[in-house]
Amino acid sequence: MKLSKKTFVYSIMLAVLMVAFVVGYFVFMLPSLYVDYVMKSNLKSVAAVQREYMENRSYADLTVKNPSAVFSLEIPDKGNQIYVAGKFFKLTVEVQDEELKSMLDYVRNKMSSGQKQEGAEYPDEAPSDAAWTDTMEAWEKIEEKFAGKELFDENYPIALQMEWKENPGLYQGEYEKFHMISNDIFIYEAGISDGNYSYTTYTAMAHDGDAYIITVYPTLTPKMDEITPVVMGSLPMIIAVVFLLVLVSSRFFSGKIVDPVVRLAGYAEGAKLAGYSQIEPFETKGEDEIALLGRTIQELYEKLRSSYLELEETNHRLEEENIRQEVFLRASSHQLKTPISAALLLTEGMMNEIGKYKNVKEYLPQVKSQLLSMRKIVEDILYLDYHAKNMEKGEIAVGQLVEEVVKAYGVQIEAKELNVSISGTAVIFSDREMLKKIIDNLFSNAAGYTPFGERIVIEVQKQELCIKNYGTVIDEKLLPNVFQPFVSSNEAGKGKGLGLYVAAYYSRLLGCKVEIENMENGVCARLLFP
C-alpha cells in the first residue's frame, strides 16, 4: 500500500474512533449528565423562589418556570388563616371548624420540631408506623369534615377568599400549529413565552362513538441554553479523552509510518560506519514509498560496495604489475649484469688468447651457458605480460601435462639419477600454456635442488597437484619469502629466484594457489586448483 493511501486509511480509522467516542458520549453519558443538571437546576430554582417569597411574600417580581402551576403555601405561626399564593392568584383559607383548628396547631408543632439545619442533606427516611397511623387518622377526619357539604354552605369547615392578579404582557410570542395524527385524532399546538421560559400546550380532539374527547396537555418547552452548561462542563473531559485518543492513535500510526524511516536512517548510519564491509540487508515489508526507498538505498550500497571491491582488485592488479615492472628493471640492471660481465670477460679472454682462455673449445660452452641464463631471465619476464593477455582456457588433462614437463627434464634427471614417479589424473578447465609454466617452474625447482640419487614423487588429484622432492629442505628463514622475486638460496648457481614468483603470478591469474612447505627430509609444493 502506498504511503499516501496508508496515511489516508489511518486518518479514516482515527476519524471513526473519534466519531465512535462522540456518539457514545452523546448516547450514554450526555442524557444522564443533562438529567443531573436539570435536577440540580430545579433544586436551585425552588430554593430561589422560596427565598424571594419569604422576603416579599408575593409572586409579583418572581421569575418561575411554569407560572401557572407553581404556588406557595403559607401557614402563619398563629391564627386560623392559611395563604396560597401564585403568579396569578392569592387564596386565603380561614379554618372555621374547632377540630380542624386543633389539627392545624398539631401540624405547626410537628413542622417546628422537625426543622433541619440549613445547607445539610438528609437521606430519605421512611415514617414510623405511629406517625403513619396518626397521619392516616387525621386525613380520615378531614375527609369526614368535608363529606357531603357544599362549598358555600354556612357550616363549611373553611372559608375561601380568592384574589386574582392580572399580569398583562406576561406571555408573548404566541404561535399555533395543527397536526392531523390520524383520520380520527386532531391536535392543536399553541406556544407562548414569558420572556424567560417557553410553554407549549397541546390540545387533542377526537370523536369516539357518541362523544367528543378533548385532552389538554401543557408542557414546559426545553431551552437550548439548558444543554449548553452540560456540554461546557463536559468539555474538559471530552478534550482530555480526545487528546488521549489522538496521542495513542498517533503513537500507533507513527509506529507504522515513522519507525520504518528511523530504521532506514539507522541502516544508512550503519552502512556509513561499516564502510564497504558486508552488512545485514535492510528488511522491508510492504510496497509503500519507504520500502521502495529502503530497497533503493540497499541496492545503491551494494553497487557502491561492488564497485569499491572491483576498484580494490584493480589496484591490487596494478600493484602486481608495478612489482613485475620493478622485477624487469631489477633484472635488467642487476640480474643481467653478472652473466653479461662473465660472458664479456670470457669472450675478451678468448679473443686475446690470454692464459687459459686460449682454449676456446673449453670456455666457449661457458659463454653459451651465460647467454642461455640471460635469455631465460628475459623470457620469464617478457612472458609474464604475454600470457596474462593471451589466455585461452579449455579442458586439460593434468596428468598428461605433468608427464610432458617431466620428459623435457630427462637429461637432468638421468644425470642426477633421480627417481621420479607420477600417479593419479585430473581434468581441469584452465589455460594450458600458463598451467604448464607453473608446473615447469615447480618441477624445475624440485629437480634442481634434489640431491644426487634421491626421489621426486608427483601426485595428481582432483583438487590439487603435489610435487614432493626428498633429500633437501628450505631454510625456515627463507620459507615465508620464497614467492618474492629473486629470493633464492642459490648456493651453487641453481637459478635466479624467478621460478616461484612466476608460478605464483600465473596461479593468481588462473584462480589457483601455490603452497610450499617443508616435510620430513623433503619439500612439498602444492598447486591447488580452483
> Over the stretch 439-448, which tens digit does the pLDDT of each residue have?
988 998 898 8
What pLDDT score does 451 carry? Answer: 92
Question: Which domain CATH number covers 513?
Answer: 3.30.565.10
Distance CA 523, CA 486 (A): 19
Q: What is the mean pLDDT of residues 475-501?
A: 68
Query: How large a percentage of the chain has pLDDT more than 70?
Result: 80
> Which residue is listed with cell 598428461?
400
Q: What is the mean pLDDT of residues 450-479?
A: 91
Inside any domain, residue 407:
yes
What pLDDT score does 492 carry? Answer: 43
Distance CA 417, CA 409 (A): 12
Give the contacts of 434 (CB within 8 A, at least 6 positions apart): 387, 391, 506, 509, 510
For residues 405 and 108, the model is more confident at 405
CA distances from 2 to 13, 25, 286, 299 (A): 16, 35, 9, 20
- 501 and 425 share one domain: yes
What pLDDT score does 490 carry? Answer: 52
pLDDT digits (tens, 9 = 90+) for 104-123: 887 777 777 765 555 556 55
DSSP 8-state secondary structure symbol assigned to residue 154: T
Distance CA 199, CA 173 (A): 10
Question: For 390-511, where are the alpha helices, taking DSSP H only?
Answer: 398-408, 410-415, 432-449, 499-510
pLDDT digits (tens, 9 = 90+) for 363-403: 777 777 777 777 776 776 666 666 666 778 899 999 999 99
- 102 and 203 share one domain: no
What pLDDT score does 495 carry? Answer: 47
Distance CA 68, CA 218 (A): 10
Q: Beta strands 393-397 and 427-431: pairing type?
A: antiparallel
What pLDDT score does 22 carry? Answer: 79
Question: Which domain CATH number covers 183?
Answer: 3.10.450.630
DSSP reduced 3-state for 468: strand
C-alpha cell belonging to residue 323: 612489482
- 85 and 217 share one domain: no
- 205 and 183 share one domain: yes
What pLDDT score does 515 carry? Answer: 92
Provide the number of structural domains found in the chain: 3
Whether the pLDDT of residue 496 is over 60: the answer is: no
Q: Which amino acid is at 382?
A: L
Long-range interactions of 249-257: CB distance < 8 A, separation 24+: 249/10, 249/13, 249/14, 249/17, 253/10, 253/14, 256/6, 256/10, 257/3, 257/6, 257/7, 257/10, 257/290
Most confident among 159-173, 330-344, 473-487, 490-504 (mean pLDDT): 473-487
C-alpha cell belonging to residue 28: 450514554
- 157 and 209 share one domain: no
How many residues comprise the chain?
A: 530
Which phi and psi (to 5°) does residue 406 adopt? -65, -35
What pLDDT score does 429 carry? Answer: 92
- 426 and 464 share one domain: yes
What pLDDT score does 523 carry? Answer: 93
Inside any domain, residue 446:
yes
C-alpha cell belonging to residue 124: 430519605
CA distances from 278 to 173, 266, 300, 307 (A): 87, 16, 13, 13
Inside any domain, residue 87:
yes
Give the contacts of 182 (CB within 8 A, at least 6 positions apart): none
Distance CA 360, CA 358 (A): 6
124 pLDDT band, cuts 50/70/90, is low
Inside any domain, residue 412:
yes
- Where is the domain boundary, 184, 207, 222? 222
Distance CA 356, CA 58 (A): 165
89 pLDDT band, cuts 50/70/90, is confident
Range of the domain at 216: 172-222
Whether the pLDDT of residue 161 is over 70: the answer is: yes
Q: Which helix (H) or strand (E) holds 313?
A: helix 289-330
Inside any domain, residue 526:
yes
- Where is the domain boundary, 159, 188, 222? 222
Whether the pLDDT of residue 335 is over 70: the answer is: no
Q: Which of 168, 161, 189, 17 is nearest to 88 (CA)?
A: 168
Whether the pLDDT of residue 74 is over 70: the answer is: yes
CA distances from 397 to 242, 392, 456, 465 (A): 83, 15, 20, 12
Inside any domain, residue 82:
yes
- 420 and 522 share one domain: yes
What pLDDT score does 247 carry? Answer: 80
CA dihedral (330, 335, 337, 341) in degrees, to 10, reads 180
Whether the pLDDT of residue 319 is over 90: the answer is: no
What pLDDT score does 171 carry? Answer: 67
What is the 3-class SS of 270-297, one letter each residue? Answer: HHHHHCCCCCCCCCCCCCCHHHHHHHHH
Q: Which of 185, 211, 190 is nearest to 201 (CA)?
A: 190
- 428 and 520 share one domain: yes
How wide is the angle at C-alpha 263 spanned by C-alphas 262 and 268, nearest 5°? 95
CA distances from 96 to 66, 73, 156, 160, 407 (A): 33, 18, 8, 11, 161
- 416 and 522 share one domain: yes
494 pLDDT band, cuts 50/70/90, is very low
Whether the pLDDT of residue 322 is over 70: the answer is: yes
DSSP reduced 3-state for 125: coil
- 448 and 410 share one domain: yes
Inside any domain, residue 25:
no
How far the first Cα of the chain sits from its last, in Å, is 47
What pLDDT score does 284 carry? Answer: 67
- Where is the domain boundary, 181, 201, 222? 222
For residues 489 and 258, the model is more confident at 258
Q: Which of 393, 404, 395, 379 is nearest to 502 (CA)?
A: 379
What pLDDT score does 207 carry? Answer: 79
Distance CA 430, CA 512 (A): 10
Inside any domain, residue 247:
no
- 159 and 195 share one domain: no
Q: What is the mean pLDDT of residues 325-340?
A: 62
For residues 364 and 326, the model is more confident at 364
